[in-house]
Every structure is written in structure tokens, then in C-alpha cells.
Chain A
Amino acid sequence: MQQHTISVLVNDQPGVLTRVATLFGQRGFNIDSITVGGTEEQGLSRMIISTGGDDRQINQLMKQLHKLIDVISVTNLSENPFVSRELALIKVTASPSQLAELNGIVEPFRAAIVDVGPSSLIVQVTGDTEKIDALLVLLQSYGVIELTRTGAVAMARSIVPATAAATV
């Protein structure tokens, strides 16, 4: 089973997320992550959905998504080079005295410590999934109290014209 990143342009209206999520459930697909936000055009939202499946399954999923009236276009970003980023906030057990030590760990990741408390601090990191996973491994030895991740936002790379990306 391959991981796919699907970009879905939808009407920005109440209930549209429910329709998309319901379709996944109804057709037996799993959503690994989903992000929704504004786009370059008012009235439209873009959903970036990470899901798994073989080519046949993903093809079917994209066709089913396209049947939804509120869906404007569906693109499988994984078919071409694309940029993908997510944001994570990681609360780690640490005292202020460990700040310098932790800074040394997060810096190579271009992450930042954004909150310091008496016994814990919060690391903010952006990047692709692997990078965040890698930082997490390092921070786990300190003890991760809480973790929250956004899921991927993604976009086709400029070298591939957007119109050339496979769309349904």
C-alpha cells in the first residue's frame, strides 16, 4: 500500500468537510491526515488529504471525490514532485537549566523553543513528515508530554506546471 497526498479544491461552505470525510468512510478508505484552509480564491478551500492505497484504489477514490457537487477539482500530488510541510508542537519534560542543551538539539532542525515552563518546554517544528519524526525520536529521551501535529499541507513543485499535474 502506497502513501498518497491528494489535493482537493472545494467550495468553502458548511458541511463540505463532512461530505468528504463521509465519502472516505462510506467507501472504506482511511484518512491518515487532513488539512483544510483558504486558497488564492475567495469562496474556495483546499483540502490536503494523506491516504493509503494501490493505484486502482486511489484512482477510484479520486473519481468518487469528483462526484461530490462541492468538489471543484481533485489532484494526486504524489504523481509528480511536490512540496509537503507540516507543523508540530511538542511539549517536552525539561527544566530551564536544560534549555541550552535542548536548543542544541532543535537548532539543526530549524525548530524553535516557543515556551519555557518550570518543568517543561514547547518545541515548534515545521517540515516534512520525516523531519518531524526524526526530531521526535531525539526528544523522546527527555519525555514527550504532549504532541500535536497539523498533518501535511502540500503543493506541486513549480517545475511542473500546475495544469500538467494529473487531475480527474
Chain B
Amino acid sequence: MSVEMAELQKKNGIPPIQFGEEVSGAETLLRCLILEQVEYIFGYPGGAVLPIYDSLYGSYFKHILTRHEQGAIHAADGYARATGKPGVCIATSGPGATNLVTGIATAQMDSVPLVCITGNVAQSLIGTDAFQEANITGITIPITKHSYFVRDIRDLPRIVKEAFHIATTGRPGPVLIDIPKDVANAKAPFTYPDKVEIRGYRASLVPSDEEVQGFVKAVSEAKRPVILAGGGIIAAQAEKELRDFAEKTRIPVINTFMGLGGFSGTHELSLAMPGMHGNYTANQALLNADCVIGLGARFDDRITMGRTKEFAPKARIVHVDIDPAELGKNVETAVTVAGDVKSTLAKAIPLAKACDSEAWISQLKEWQEQYPYKYKKDGDVLKPQAVIELLYNSTDGEAIVTTDVGQHQMWTAQYYKFKHPRSFISSGGLGTMGFGFPAAIGAQIAHPDRTVISVVGDGGFQMTNQELAIVSQYNIPVKVAIVNNQCLGMVRQWQELFYDNRYSQIDLTCSPDFVKLAEAYGVKGLRASTPEEAEAVWAEALAHDGPVVVDFRVAQEENVYPMVASGNTLDQMELGDD
């Protein structure tokens, strides 16, 4: 063991680890997790992982027992997104493992570092359709960055070391380790490798000087440039480099949905979010730019609308991404840099100079003033957008906000101006309902002193609301803000616009009384139906030292605008009726 590791253990009160001592596979796993500096494990026990849970008994780890494996993995995901450290979850074989599938796919789509540990039946039973057997490595091949089935206890330390390395380096992602019960029970002398050697795996990509010079040259020639800053800014911790680069070159920055907070939404060069529910200025910027600089953004179809020929039609596209497969995948590019955004920008900043972009910036400012996000206020009716504005104003934009998927998610992205990276946590790629609340639990565990708000819809919340037990049991002070329009709002909006108001199966009026539901779990519940009540109730929620569920009863018929309908291009934008 290295001297640093010994010191770290001493400092953090981690128990000393005896190398060479004969221990079980389960104990081996936990020792490896300690050496990977894991602090929290989110999980749910079962037969096949009993050896691991037995080793956990009385151990150093803080284990969070969720009420469903989906809650465990979304919480691990929220923890990872809030910290940048890998999230760790454990589930048993069969149904325990398959309950992780949605969470694994969510993490894969949003490039979140997770290490998912599943138990499996003993190898003598593998392939016999044994009780609670599932081929989880097979099931998850398309949705993991990599996965392992451990056949021999002697491979386990190397596999754990590799799993953490793969999950956290390059383009981050989820890695699954499936451990059959006989391996967890087997015994071997404990070892842990110092280094990872995976042939063919490129963990980091620092661009060459020539590539960076080509990038700077392409950018400096532009007169109407715009940066499209994606989740890669946050993953690479490149927010400072992005700010310095944008300020020095005078290039305005559009934050993609995944990139919100990677560049402060209150910065004078910020153009906020583009795409389907993005704002007018950001979309006009893409339509009129002569150079679009994608930084850690993958040109998702919610931005290009899948109409890639009509996307940014006047622009040369410059693309920097750590994943070479993203370059040229969705849009045609003029200049590409296969590299990590942070090192690319760090190399580019000394070479860069200001673009001749002031006329362009003034034009964008004019549009911003003319077409801000707006909604119609309506006396005593509580508008959902007003709820988000209230959350923003009451926290000065300093909270960590998680969301589910749907209208409330888009309003949050629009009306909460995120200033810091890792402060907006939402399922962007997969669009997972039920994600927001457990993710908030993980984020709050990572940051016990920060305000963590989980903005959820009445639909999504009911997919994982059993995790109220967790916030109650561990007194995790998450503030749940239900934007309750008593229906599946985004589906209703699409049915109104594209299906002739045929509201098929979206009625959620028969939901539980969320205040009583919270109280049933021992959590404070509050309700507001007017703007005035909302202010008072929210102040009470923020002042409460513990978890709170606030049921905001909002106008049902409200739609998310602006909107670019599916199949249309960014210039076909509906601004809404007000």
C-alpha cells in the first residue's frame, strides 16, 4: 500500500487494511471500495449478495437502504453528478439487478460515472434458470461503458480497480460488476494492484498543438461565433477555462440542457438553453452564427431537431469532444478536436484573441430583451413558471436542483438560472421519470450543508416516492417541490398540439394527497394553491430543518413555450400565446 493511501486512511478514519490476509470475495470487494475512497453505498440486499451485506455489517461504509433498487441507482447517480466522484450501488441477482437497468441506461446516456455491483447465483447454477438468476451482464451490454462477470476471486481486485478507472476516465459512464455467490464466498489473500493497464483503452486525450492551433484559427476568423457548451464542460471541470476562453474571445455561450451551470446563466455572454424548449435568442444564434463551437456537446436531436442539414445553416461547425465517435456523428464538422475540453481550452486560451463579434453580441442582446422566457400571470392562479421563479429567487440560484422529466423539467431549465456546475441534475438523454427525487437524495448526502430541491411532477414523483422513507429515516433535508397539475403535463401538451386535444390516459386526479403521503412517512407536508400561499409555504419549507414535501397546485392547462415541434427546424419556433 502506498504511503499516501495509508495517510488518507488515517485522516479519514478508514480502518487499516492488511494485505496478504486471507479474506472472502465479499471482504475483498469492500476493501477494494475503501481503497477507491468510496464513502457511500446505495443498495438493497438479497440472497445472492448476502455475503457482501454480511461483510458490510458494522463496517466503515455508510450504506443507504433505499426502498427499490431504482431508487438506489438514481441516488448513486445524483451523488455522482453532484460530486464528480463515482456513485456506487449494490443490488442482488435477478430482479434486483434488472431493477437497475433504467438507472444504468440513464447514467450511460448522460455520461455519469457509476460502479454497479450485482450479485449472481453461484457459477454451478449459472445457465440453469436458477432462482433469481438473470444474465445481467448480457442484458446491460448496450447500456454500460463496460461490464464484468467475475469468475475467480483472484481477478476481483483487478476488476474493481479497472471498473473505477473506466467509469471515471475518458467519457465517464456506468460499469457493472456481476459477482456470483461462490466468488463472494471464496477466499484468497488480499491484494490490490497499483496501476491499471487496459490495452486499447484511451483514458485521456490531450490534443496536439497542431489540433489546438487549427481550433483557434477557425474560431478567431468568426464574426458571429457561438459556443455550444455541453455536459462535457461539467464532466471535465472546465468551467473556469470556458469562462476565460469566452471572455477573452468575446464569444457568447449557449448552455445545452446538460451543460446548464457549466457557464453561469447570469453571465453577460450567456444565451441560456437552445433547442426544442430553448429560448428564441439561443436558437437564432445557432441559425445565424457563422461558427458554432461545440464543446463537450453531442448535438442531440433536441437541439438539432434531427434536421441536421438545416441546423446552423450558415455556420462552420467546430467540435471538441473527448469521445472521438461523437465527432461527425450527428452533424458535419469543419474542424474537430478529439480531446478533453479542459486541456483543449487551457492550451487554446494563450493563443486565442478577441473575435470581431461586438455587433453580433449587440444583436443577440436585442433579441434577448425582445424575446425573454415569459408567461401570462393570472391573478390568484398559481402558474408553474412562477413556482420555479420562486425557487430561484428564494435561493438566489445557489441551490442544487434535481428534476424528473416533463414540463416541470423544462420550466426549471428555463426559469432557474444555474450559476454553478453540478447544481442542475436531471435525466437529459434518457428522459427518466422517477429520477429526480432519489437523485436529490444522493446530491443531498454529498452536500449536507447545501439546499437541495427536487422539482418533480405529480406523475414522476409517484414512480419513486417510496424513497420518502429514506429522507425520513436518515433525516435528509431534501425539499421536494411537486409541480402538481394533476396530469401528465408534457403528454397533455403534445396531445393538445398534435393529437387534436384527445387527452388519452393522462388524468392523475386520483393521486394520493401528497401532504398526507409525506406525513405517513414522517415527513413534513405543505400545500399551496395561490402565488401568495406559495411564497409563505415555501419560506416555511426552506426554514424547516429536515425534509419537506410541498404540493404546489398549479394551473393545469399551462404549456411549455417556446417550442419547436417535432419535425420542424429551429426557425419554426412557437413563442406561445403571450
Contact = CB atoms under 8 A, between A and B. Distances in A.
A69 B201 contact: yes
Given A56-B328, A60-B328, A15 B138 contact: yes
A59 interface: yes
B329 A60 contact: yes
B324 interface: yes
Interface size class of A (residues with CB under 8 A): 20 to 34
Contact of A18 (B138, B146, B198, B325): B138
B309 interface: no
Given A22-B142, A63-B325, A67-B323, A15 B149 contact: yes
Contact of A69 (B149, B166, B325, B328): B166
A59 B146 contact: no
Interface in B319-362: 323-325, 327-329
B199 A72 contact: yes
Nearest to B326: A63
Interface string B172-206: 00000000000000000000000000111100000
Given A72-B199, A72-B200, A73-B200, A67 B142 contact: no
A4 interface: no
A71 interface: yes
B145 interface: yes
B200 A69 contact: yes
A19 interface: yes
Interface in A53-94: 56, 59-60, 63-64, 66-73
Contacts of A158: none
A70 B142 CA distance: 14
Given A15-B137, A18-B138, A69-B146, A59 B328 contact: yes
Interface string B145-165: 110010000000000000000
Contacts of B137: 15
Nearest to B171: A67
Nearest to B330: A60
Given A11-B199, A63-B324, 20 more contacts: A9-B200, A15-B137, A15-B138, A15-B141, A15-B149, A18-B138, A22-B141, A23-B142, A26-B142, A60-B325, A60-B328, A60-B329, A63-B325, A63-B327, A66-B325, A69-B145, A69-B146, A69-B201, A71-B200, A72-B199
Interface of A: 9, 11, 14-15, 18-19, 22-23, 26, 56, 59-60, 63-64, 66-73, 168
16 contacts: A9-B200, A14-B149, A15-B141, A15-B149, A26-B142, A60-B328, A60-B329, A63-B325, A66-B200, A66-B324, A67-B323, A67-B325, A69-B146, A69-B166, A69-B201, A72-B200
